[in-house]
Structure 1
Amino acid sequence: MYDVLVYLFENYYTPESCPSADVLTKRLMAAGFEHDDIDDAIGWLFGLAESTEKCVELTSMSDSSTRFYTPAEQQHLGVAALGFLSFLEYSGAVAPPLREIIIDRAMAAPEAPLSLQHIKIITLMVLWSQEAEIDHLILEELVTDDEEKLFH
């Protein structure tokens, strides 16, 4: 799933430039992705659209709000993801409504706890979907890992 999401980020400037799900599926199949990964990624993206719609009402949330994570969230996200989310929040890169969308999409990820690489991809895709401006240093942090580049 994550490879498909990275491919979308690399190949489509905005979410609106993506074709319909049927056409996108055919293009992804032609690019060599497996059907299960494509289905997972498209399902994840539909969930992202739903989560975004639900979080619109959170735009009035104060930037100084404190987020307490449930035990299930702590277990699923893991220490690396929680630390990375805190870094993004305190650096001002992610406002509370975007944080909530990231958490929702991270909770929809199949593995637990999330790796640092996967929470970065999820964050990048949420920011991409919102067409949010990303500070250059934050973008660099999102597209690199301690061991290797996330992108091709």
Structure 2
Amino acid sequence: MFEVLVFMFENYFSHHTALDSDVMEQELSAAGFDSSDITGAFDWYAEMKSRLTEPAPHYAHKHSGLRVFSDMELKKINTESIGFILFLQQANVINDMERDLIIDRAMALKQQVITVEEMRWISMIALWNEGREKDYLFVEDALFNPRGLAIH
């Protein structure tokens, strides 16, 4: 399912291509993706979009700075991925709500372990869909720059 999400992002969403879901499903199927993975990716993406349009949850503090991960999250999301999310938050690229959305979407994937590359893709998809291309570019640099992030 994750591969379908990446394909969808690279070929449709990042180019602001609006296709009918039936057409997209046919194209994804023609590209060799399994129908259950396509359906799962559509559901994952729809859930993310619905959470982006929900009213923001109330946090006790503007910047909580502390996120306690559940045992299930710690088992599924590897240490490097957690470090990446915390880095984004400390760099003020994402806020508490976006952090929680990204973690939720990571937990919704089928993989038993979420790698940092997968976490970066999830972050990019979430930021892009919020219309935050500038922040998306920051994460894209983290994903595709072989030397890693250049902090100035």
Could you tell me the TM-score, scaled by structure 2's length? 0.79
The DSSP-based 3-state class of the residue aligned with 2:88 is: helix
- What is the match of residue 72 of structure 2? 72
Cα distance in 2 between the residues matched to 1:60 and 1:34: 40
1:79-94 to structure 2, matched below 5 A, reads 79-94=79-94
- 2:126 is aligned with what amino acid? V
Q: Name structure 1 gaps, 5 residues minimum.
A: 147-152
Q: CA deviation at 1:34?
A: 2.6
Corresponding residue for residue 140 of structure 2:
139
For the residues of structure 1 that align with 2:33 and 2:47, how far apart are their CA atoms? 20
- One-letter amino acid of the counterpart of residue 73, structure 1: E
For 1:9-88, what aligned pairs fall within 5 Å after superposition?
9-13=9-13, 17-54=17-54, 56-58=55-57, 62-65=61-64, 66-88=66-88
Which secondary structure does the structure 2 equivalent of 1:18 belong to? coil
| In structure 2, distance between residues paired with 1:6 and 1:69 | 26
Percent identity between matched residues is 28
Gaps spanning 5+ residues in structure 2: where?
148-152
CA distance, structure 2, for counterparts of residue 42 and residue 108 of structure 1: 12
For 1:115, the equivalent position in structure 2 comes to: 115
Q: Which moved more, 1:35-44 or 1:6-15?
A: 6-15
Amino acid in structure 2 at the alignment position of 1:57: A
Q: 1:61/1:24 Cα in 2 relative to 1: closer, same or farther (>3 Å)? A: farther
Aligned residues: 145
Q: Which amino acid aligns with 2:33?
A: F
Q: Which sits farther off after the overlay, 29-38 or 115-124?
A: 29-38
